[in-house]
Amino acid sequence: MTSTQTKPGAAHNDPTAGPRAGVAIKPPAPSYNRSRSRNKTSLYAHGEPMVWLTGGALAMCLLMIIGLVALIVAQGVATFWPGPVVRYQTLDGVRAGETTRLENYSPEDSVFERLPESSRAAARKMVADNGGVTGRRLVRIGNYEITGEHFAWVSDFEIAPGADAVSTPPWMLVVERLAWGRFYGEPVGVVIEGKLIPCEPAEAWKLFGEHHPAVRERWEQRRRLETGDIGVINHRAEQARLALRAVEMKYGKESPQWRAEHESFLKTEERDKAEFDRIAREIEALNNTNNGYKIVLRTADGTESTLGMADIVRAYPANQLSFAQKSVVYLSRWWEFLTDDPREANSEGGVYPAIFGTVVMTLIMSLLVVPFGVLAALYLREYAKGGILISAVRIAINNLAGVPSIVFGVFGLGFFCYIIGGGIDQLFFSAKLPSPTFGTGGLMWASFTLALLTLPVVIVATEETLAAVPGSMREGSYACGASKWQTIKRIVLPRAMPGIMTGMILAMARGAGEVAPLMLVGAVKLAPELPVNGVFPFFHPERSFMHLGFHIYDLGFQSPNAEAAKPMVFTTTLLLILIIAVLNLAAVFIRARLRRRFSSSQF
């Protein structure tokens, strides 16, 4: 019988063989665990954390921008919506007006001291039972010539007990006037052609509606005579006076030239005086006619007041308006806001002079900054040889972009207004001195100052755009025999135009919103006379102007009636944003067309 021998270690190769006694078994080699290796990899080696971080930062930026714009839109759009007129019977009297704000507060002891002594204990108990907190509302009470204030707080504990303590009288009118702010009262009579007609509120309101449009038309006619015809006469008289003074300064007061000019001056003065007297008689006749039309109003506390219809811009029974009628009032207020001059320390009326000044200044600034910025960038990128001087210029341009805007305003005032403008006055307007013509702030110097302020933005954006034009295009143009300027003109500039437009958009956006430099070089609180009119030379860049940004600053920080000005701040801010957006969208549209035009020809 033959036995089969097995080689040592063969059992280790047999997967079915079990362990043998006395033979050492080696443990299996550890296998590479990929999952454990991945778990040990740093978290920052993956993209997820940075995706969440950058995405979260973008979301936060969008939320802040959307929140700011939403606040401005909500507050600005609601400014002109007419609200009801509420009558409050308080413990110490009666007040009526439009409620503008509600809030809770903890009253101090001095607040209770103003109440009648018999009501103080009950008021204190009411507040104490509510945890020391009570509500109050800010009421626009108007009637400033009677009350001495435009707004008043009415607390909950000040309202007298009773169901009729808070009411909305049906015939309480809201009267918007040229001066003294709003007036609230019930119509109890009218004055027609100087005759007082006492009547019921409904009849008085009907008569007011019949005669008020004609009265306002006569007021507009008087205004046109005062600002138009008399303005032309005054301008002609001023020009004659300056011509006489110029001859006197050049030839002397006893010269034949001065006597001839003086005779011409006297004839002009006589003719202007006769025309002025004629216009003054027309104005007086219009005023006398309008003085015979008035309306008698009774306030909530029983005081009667007579208002001239010519001074009333708008009136309506607030508590009787339907939604459609409220919409008409709302749209008429917006139209007035966009097309009329401001009144009541800029807290009422329109902002048309500020709109005009902002748009014209921004356009002039753009026409100034884009050519110079593009030319400077062209030289730096296409012509200048690299070196210490060019590097220093680029560093200076980048640093100039970070200079505070008020520094540019000081420079503009000293250089443009005093040096250049003063020199122009000495050469061409010496007859008007010491009254400056160009030697003070004006629309032109403001545009120059903001052009200097935004110049680094245009230079940097244009230079980067020129550098992005492929070099193969330049080389192909040179290979075809074109000169350097022909290459720049026909190849580089057309393809760089979208980027140049981007720089102009950034410059427009920054320049249109600047305020600090304008306070020194031409922007003023009130300038209803536009720099463009029908008097030669028709455009007057030396005049001061209104600006929406400065108008917002004046409303927010300089208005004597802060509560009335606060809604106008949001509305004017919304308007400024819309104007900048329209200007930028126009530039974006042009940029998009240029990009489509030249994108197909790139290689």
Q: pLDDT tens-digit profile of 235-247?
A: 889 889 999 999 9
Q: How far apart, in Å, are the Cα atoms of 492 and each of 374, 599, 603?
A: 12, 13, 13
Report the C-alpha gap between 356 and 366 in whole angstroms.
15
* Extended beta strands in 68-204, E state: 86-90, 93-105, 134-140, 151-155, 166-167, 173-177, 182-192, 195-198
Per the CB < 8 A criterion, the answer to whether 229 and 258 are in contact is: no
Determine if the peptide bond prior to 256 is cis (ω within 30°).
Answer: no
Residue 6 has a pLDDT of: 43
The Cβ of residue 529 has, within 10 Å, a number of other Cβ atoms equal to 15
Residue 603 has a pLDDT of: 40
Q: pLDDT tens-digit profile of 424-445?
A: 999 988 888 888 989 999 999 9
The whole-number average pLDDT for the span 296-312 is 93
* Residue in 208, 147, 206 with CA at minimum distance from that of residue 180: 147
Three-state DSSP at 83 gives coil
| N-terminal to C-terminal alpha carbon distance within the chain | 92
The whole-number average pLDDT for the span 153-163 is 87
Residue 21 has a pLDDT of: 46
Q: How far apart, in Å, are the Cα atoms of 417 and each of 282, 424, 451, 454?
A: 41, 10, 15, 19
Residues in the chain: 603
Signed CA dihedral, 20, 25, 29, 33: sign only: positive
Domains in the chain: boundaries: 86-168, 187-320, 356-465+494-599
Least-confidence region, from 41-50, 170-179, 356-365, 386-395: 41-50
Least-confidence region, from 134-143, 176-185, 498-507: 498-507
The pLDDT confidence band at residue 599, using thresholds 50, 70 and 90, is low
Pick the more confident residue, 163 or 250: 250
The pLDDT confidence band at residue 177, using thresholds 50, 70 and 90, is very high
Determine if the peptide bond prior to 537 is cis (ω within 30°).
Answer: yes
pLDDT at 142 over 60: yes
The pLDDT confidence band at residue 28, using thresholds 50, 70 and 90, is low
Residue 4 has a pLDDT of: 42
pLDDT at 9 over 50: no
Q: pLDDT tens-digit profile of 443-480?
A: 999 999 999 999 999 999 999 999 888 888 888 988 99
CA 513 to chain centre: 8
Tokens of 300: 């909530």
Tokens of 388: 């210490």
Report the C-alpha gap between 403 and 452 in whole angstroms.
11
Query: Residue 120 — φ and ψ, nearest 5°?
Result: -65, -45
Per the CB < 8 A criterion, the answer to whether 352 and 340 are in contact is: yes
pLDDT at 401 over 90: no
Q: How far apart, in Å, are the Cα atoms of 485 and each of 118, 369, 477, 527, 580?
A: 92, 22, 11, 47, 35
Per the CB < 8 A criterion, the answer to whether 297 and 173 are in contact is: yes
DSSP state of 26: P
The whole-number average pLDDT for the span 526-554 is 85
Beta-carbon contacts of residue 533 (< 8 Å; ≥ 6 apart): 231, 540
The pLDDT confidence band at residue 591, using thresholds 50, 70 and 90, is confident
The pLDDT confidence band at residue 29, using thresholds 50, 70 and 90, is low
Report the C-alpha gap between 513 and 549 in whole angstroms.
6
DSSP state of 386: P
DSSP state of 159: B
Report the C-alpha gap between 234 and 529 in whole angstroms.
14
The whole-number average pLDDT for the span 491-516 is 87
Q: pLDDT tens-digit profile of 210-228?
A: 999 999 999 999 999 998 8
Residue 48 has a pLDDT of: 74
The percent of residues above 90 in pLDDT, for the chain, comes to 51
Amino acid at 62: L
Report the C-alpha gap between 409 and 518 in whole angstroms.
7
Q: pLDDT tens-digit profile of 275-285?
A: 999 999 999 99
Report the C-alpha gap between 306 and 331 in whole angstroms.
28
The Cβ of residue 516 has, within 10 Å, a number of other Cβ atoms equal to 17
Task: Give the chain's largest Cα–Cα span.
Answer: 164
pLDDT at 315 over 70: yes
DSSP state of 495: H
Question: What is the architecture of the domain spanning 356-465+494-599?
Answer: Orthogonal Bundle (1.10)
Report the C-alpha gap between 521 and 526 in whole angstroms.
15
Report the C-alpha gap between 316 and 178 in whole angstroms.
16
Task: Report which listed range, 70-74, 340-344, 538-542, is most confident.
Answer: 70-74
Burial class, 284, CB count within 10 angstroms (exposed 0-12 / middle 13-18 / buried 19+): exposed
Beta-carbon contacts of residue 542 (< 8 Å; ≥ 6 apart): 421, 437, 438, 440, 442, 443, 444
Q: pLDDT tens-digit profile of 188-199?
A: 999 999 999 999
b/e for 254-267, b at 16 or more Cβ within 10 A? eeeebeebeeebee
